[in-house]
Every structure is written in C-alpha cells, then in structure tokens.
Amino acid sequence: MATVGQINEHDVFTCPICLETLKSPNSLPCLHTFCETCIGEFIVSTEQRAEQKLSNYPCPVCRTVVTPNNPEDEASQWAASLPHNFTISSLMENSKSVKQECHLCKRRDKISEATQWCRDCDEALCDECLQLHGFMKLFVDHKVIRIDEMNFPSIVEEPDLSMISDSCPVHTSKVLEAFCFDHQQLCCLLCITLHHRKCEQVQAIEEMEKPKSDKLSMLLSEINDIKVKVEKVMKEKKGEKEKLDTSLTEIEKEASQFILSIKDKLDSLLAVFIKRLVITREESENAFQNKVKTFEKLSNYFEKLHCKTKTVEKHGTLNQMFIHFEKSKAELKSLLTEASSVWNTSSISEAKLVKSAKLDQVENIDGLIELESFKTTPVEINAYVEQLLPSRSSLLSKTHPYRSFDSFVLKHTQTIDLDGFDVYGGVFVSDEVIVFGGKVVESVGKLKAINFLNKRIVAESTFSTKLKRLAFDFESATLCVSCYGSKLYRLNFVNLFKSKINIKNDDHNNGGICILDGILYVIVEETVKKINLENPQQSLEICFETNTDCSKLNGLDIDFKNNRLLYTSKQSEVVCTSLDGREIFKFKDECMKLIVSVSVHSEGIIFAGEPSGLIHLISEDGERRRTVLKSCDKLKYICDICLDKSCSSLAVFGPGYIEIYDVCTGSG
C-alpha cells in the first residue's frame, strides 16, 4: 500500500479497506491513510468482535497498535478525531487540476501557485516559500523537485521513481543505507547504532548485488500471473458471496415459516385447553348448585317440621303426637340419607396451572432455532501466498541468508508480568494472543488468554485442579488442557473459552500433549496415548510405551516437517519417535541436566528448555546440540516453552512471567 510521503503506483489515492478513491482521508500514527468512514467502521467491528470496550486498535495494514486521543468517547467517534491527511487531499486535487497551491501560503491565508515539491515534508512550495525552506538548517538536506516533473497516478500511468523516498521512517533526517537480515528491516546509520548494534547480519545496500535484468523480467512475469490469479480468486469469492446471500435469504424465510407453524400449534393447544377449562368450570358449577339445592330443601323441611311439631305439641292428641313423632323420624332419616349422597359427591375444591415439562424447556432455552454455519477451514497465510505465487517464485525467496542449525539465535523482545501467577504451560492461539494455565491457590487452576501486544487479559476460566500442559488446533479452534492428576479437558477458544468437557476418566497422571490432524497425543504415566478430537466420547488408545514420569513436568511436541513426535524422558533425554513409537533417535549430553519442555521449529530444529533458564537447540538429525539462551530476562524457573505458528517467536513460561523472544538468524 502507498503511504504518506511514498507516492507509489496507482494505490496512492485508494483506501486500503474499501479499495476505492479516498473520501475524507484520515491518517493513523503509522502514516497509513483511510476513508474516515472506513476506518470508523473497522474500529467498531473490531470492538464488536472483542465483545468489550477497546482501549486501542490495530492498523488494518501494518497491525501497529493505535491508542486514540479520546479513549473515553465511544469507539464510533475515534475516527473523527484522527488527523486529516491534507497532503493526500492536495495531491488528489492536483491530479484533477494542473495548478497546485502552496501549502505554506495557504496556512497564512494566501493563495499562490506552487512550483516545487519537498519529498521529506510532503508539501508543495512556491518560489518564495522555497527560499525560506532552504534557509532553515533543519530542512537543508530535504530533497525538492519541480512539481511539473512529478508523475501523478491519474495523469501518467508510469510511477515517478524520484518520488520513492529513501529517508528513514524513524529518523526522518537520515537516509536508508543498510538492511538488517536478522530483523528484516531497512536501516539508517542511526538505526544501526541504536537498535541493530548487536545484529550480525547487517549489510550496506550499495554493497549488495544488483538484480540482473532477467530476474526483473521474471518478476514482471510473475506479477502478471499473480494479477490473473487474484482476479480469478476475486471472482470466485464474489460467487461464494452471492450464493451465501441467497442461502441466508432462504434460511430467513424458512425460519419465519417454522416459527409461524409453532405459533399456530400453540394457538391450537391453547384453544383446546380453554375449552377443557370451560367444561370443568360448568361441571364444578353444576355440582355446587346441586349441593346448594339439597341444603335449601333440607332447610325448608326443617322449617315446616318445626311448625308442625309445635302445633301437634299444643293441640294434638296423644295418638297424633306419637304418630307424628314416628313419621318424622323416618322422614328425617330418609331425607338426611338423600342429602348425604349429594354432599358426598366429589367436586373440585382447588385448581392451579401445571405447565408441561417440555414447555419449561422451551421457556428456558436461549434460542428456539439456531443458524448452523460452516466456516472455511483456516489456512496458513503462507498457504495462500503459495496458492497465488508460482512455485520457486522469486517473491518467495527470503531476504536473509539460509538458516542453518548454527545460525539460530534468540533475541528478547518483551517480558509480561503476571503479578505472581504460577504458569506451568502455554500456547500461541493467534498472532496476538497467548493462552496460559497454572494455579491460583493449591488445587485450584486458572486458564487465561492475554493479548501480548497490549498485555491485556481477554478471557479467563477456572478449573478444580492445577493446569499442566496446553495444545491448540488452529483448524478447529480446539484447546486441550492436561492437569496435574488425571483430568484432561477439551475447550473451544475464539475470543472466549467455552464448551469445556472432560475427555479422560481414568486415574492415571497426565503429562505433555500435542495435536496433529485432529488427533490429540498425550503422555499418560509411561505411555503415549491418543484420541480423535472429533469423537471425544471414546477412550484414549495406547500408541506405545515410553520412559516418562508424569509426576513432574515433561514435554511432548510434533515435528510437522518430518511427521514425528519429540518428548522428554525420565533421564532428561530428548526422544524422537515415529507416530507409532518407532525410535528414531535419543539425545542427551553432559550439558543437559533436566529437560522439561520441547518445541519443534518448522525447519525440524528442536528447542529444549531447562528449569534453570537454559534453552538448547538440538539438530534435526539428533546429532548436535548447542545452547541458545543461558538465562532469561526475569524468569528464574522455566516450566514450558512454545513457538508461534510462524516459528518466528518463542514464548517462555514460568512463575510470574511470560517472556517472548524473536527467533532470528545470526552468523553461520
């Protein structure tokens, strides 16, 4: 991408996000320029993916971390506070009109035509301002060219070589004169003095071999091939997008119909329920009325009987009194028996609503329907590059000498203070995030994910036991965790820890773990076992016997280059075997006292760590060893080491700290 001060080919006026002409161009501190709307949408989407308020964000092009000037405002307002790129705006105006205004005069509310362009200041100057510019000692070395000699992308197709600045982006008054092969960086003399003093592969640009014309011709040919492939891939992606849009529209329609059918079913069930409720109410009402009528009948009878008895008592003969008494007894007994049969009829005394257990389940679920999406399998960036570039492409060739076993060196880049947290194992899960585990207090474990660019914890999870070793599968985003004791967990990690399940139920102690092609390999006591992560309900299967001890820390890793396993033994040997246990080599010498962890480079070189702070290299064939790190920055005790996916960084874990080292090339 073109950047400010580097007018380069046709993309100088193009937003790297929307790939269209810049609108209201705003610049980040790294000098990359974007449409104000585009960078604003990028910041908001970054915050949405993080699922929490941001304190900073990366540049979409170079990933430089940007801290906003107004962090207390909403992320949607950060883009508006970025500085407007007046240089790009002016160049865009100039590309449409031959006349270019002088920037210095414009700031003084004057209008004058510019005749010169300062490449270092990125400003247009009139003749008068050019003289003032030349008088300033700070600007005396700046390179100035005539504006009418400049080539603008919208006017002339061929780029202007004079616009390719050789000034150092860090020390703007200095010229780029050398290249550091260790750090893959262009340097000025001040850069070399301050930052690359200890680097052993620094070479002056003027001393380098000039590319031959046939190489440049080959490069042009490759670029044309890449353009064709990129256009083909773009067409395929647009087709996939259209297919996905159609599919999502159909899903929306199907989901709506499904929910409507459920609502109709529920309405029907409600109607049946209400009908039954009405019948029950009527039956209850009838039973109640029958009992009331019986009581009324009995009450009337007693009223009449009372009056009749008083009359007989007052005026009746002895014979009438006796007959009345006996008849009343018989009638009363018969009437009470009849009333009792009515009173004793079962009836509803109380009612309440009882919901079906299935409705309880529906009420408690988060979603009645879900969207099942099938994501593309993550592929390494190198794989995409190789897909677009021809085999043995000149663009694939590295700009540093061949890395031999003797050329590897570790250079400390940062130390992350974990505030006393005891770390026993860790693993890279992306270019920015490391997951690590250990213990909080005795018998209580903690898993954490940290963005090591800003040293911010992004996720946590608590376990009932201390954590030991970690392994991560990039394709499925599956994280496996072995614990002190017998527990072995599988989780998913994409910004958050979720779906934690225990995949091991025996009583045997765990050790190191690693993942290859969806198969988890784990050291269990004195064996290496395996399990298919797609079917974690199965029991672990024994691969082969080993000479290991799982009561302490040990290491296990995959050599992806040679498709083999590396692990540490009881005798602190580094043992290399095939996946089925056939021993390939076993290495140990007098300098290796206690090896507890291993990590294998993509070139087959083995890193082995000792608690004392030593890190050794073992050659791919297991014949040689040398020490690449004699002591850590702050770590006093190494528990684990791990290379990132590109094998360009090594993380070292221990009590209280994580240290990160660049894996560089020294002198051969």
Q: Is the pLDDT of residue 528 over 50?
A: yes
pLDDT confidence of residue 400: 43
Domains in the chain: boundaries: 97-153, 213-345+353-397, 406-665
Distances from the Cα of 222 to the Cα of 90, 216, 217, 569, angstroms: 34, 10, 9, 49
3-state secondary structure 96-125: HCCCCECHHHHHCCCCCECCEEECCCCEEE
pLDDT tens per residue, range 268-325: 988 988 998 888 888 888 888 888 888 888 788 888 888 888 888 888 888 888 888 8
Give the C-alpha separation, 292 to 302, whole Å: 15
Other residues' Cβ atoms within 10 Å of the Cβ of residue 466: 21
Q: Are the CB atoms for 187 and 176 separated by under 8 Å?
A: yes
Q: Are the CB atoms for 521 and 528 separated by under 8 Å?
A: yes
3-state secondary structure 219-249: HHHHHHHHHHHHHHHHHHHHHHHHHHHHHHH
For residue 515, the SS3 value is: strand
Angle CA(548)–CA(549)–CA(552) in degrees, nearest 5?
135
Give the C-alpha separation, 540 to 537, whole Å: 9
The full DSSP string for 435-492 is: EEEEEEETTEEEEEEEETTTTEEEEEEEESS-EEEEEEETTTTEEEEEESSS-EEEEE
Q: Which amino acid is at 438?
A: G
Q: Is the pLDDT of residue 668 over 50?
A: no
Q: Are the CB atoms for 483 and 463 separated by under 8 Å?
A: yes
Ranges assigned E (strand) in 196-311: 202-204
Look at 402 and 624; give whichever has higher pLDDT. Answer: 624
User: Percent of the chain scored above 70 by pLDDT?
Assistant: 86
Give the C-alpha separation, 22 to 1, whole Å: 13
Q: Which residues contact 155 (CB under 8 A, 6 or more apart)?
A: 95
Q: Is the pLDDT of residue 8 over 80?
A: no
Give the C-alpha separation, 638 to 616, whole Å: 13
Give the C-alpha separation, 178 to 168, whole Å: 11
What are the φ and ψ backbone dihedral angles of 357, each rounded to 5 degrees?
-60, -30
Average pLDDT over residues 347-376: 72
pLDDT classification of 390: cutoffs 50, 70, 90: low
Range name among 6-20, 199-213, 316-330 with the lowest pLDDT average: 6-20
Nearest to 21 by CA among 103, 88, 100, 99: 88
Task: Among 116-130, 268-282, 643-657, name the most confident range.
Answer: 643-657
Look at the block and give the residue holding tokens 């999870």.
461
pLDDT confidence of residue 654: 94
Q: Is the pLDDT of residue 379 over 60?
A: no
Give the C-alpha separation, 256 to 250, whole Å: 10
Range name among 390-394, 406-410, 589-593 with the lowest pLDDT average: 390-394
Q: Are the CB atoms for 28 and 3 separated by under 8 Å?
A: no
Q: Are the CB atoms for 39 and 82 separated by under 8 Å?
A: yes
Q: Which residues contact 616 (CB under 8 A, 6 or more apart)?
A: 591, 592, 595, 607, 608, 609, 610, 625, 626, 627, 628
Query: What tokens appear for 298 in the block?
Result: 């009995």
Range name among 79-88, 221-230, 291-300, 429-438 with the lowest pLDDT average: 221-230
Query: What tokens appear for 37 in the block?
Result: 């709307």
Look at the block and give the residue holding tokens 């994409």.
494
pLDDT confidence of residue 310: 87
pLDDT classification of 135: cutoffs 50, 70, 90: confident
pLDDT confidence of residue 365: 67
Q: Are the CB atoms for 227 and 214 separated by under 8 Å?
A: no
Query: What tokens appear for 517 in the block?
Result: 């092609």
CATH architecture for residues 97-153: Irregular (4.10)
Look at 52 and 570; give whichever has higher pLDDT. Answer: 570
User: Percent of the chain scored above 90 by pLDDT?
Assistant: 29
Class (C level, CATH) for 406-665:
mainly beta
What are the φ and ψ backbone dihedral angles of 418, each rounded to 5 degrees?
-100, 20
Range name among 30-39, 246-255, 345-354, 515-524 with the lowest pLDDT average: 345-354
What are the φ and ψ backbone dihedral angles of 664, each rounded to 5 degrees?
-115, 175
Average pLDDT over residues 172-177: 83
Average pLDDT over residues 131-150: 76
Range name among 7-16, 363-372, 409-418, 567-576 with the lowest pLDDT average: 7-16
Q: Is the pLDDT of residue 173 over 90?
A: no
Give the C-alpha separation, 548 to 525, whole Å: 7
Q: Mean pLDDT over all residues of the chain? A: 82
Q: Are the CB atoms for 643 and 663 separated by under 8 Å?
A: yes
Query: What tokens appear for 282 in the block?
Result: 């009527």
Q: Which amino acid is at 55?
A: S
Q: Is the pLDDT of residue 381 over 70?
A: no
Query: What tokens appear for 337 in the block?
Result: 């028996």
Q: Is the pLDDT of residue 250 over 80?
A: yes
Average pLDDT over residues 14-38: 86
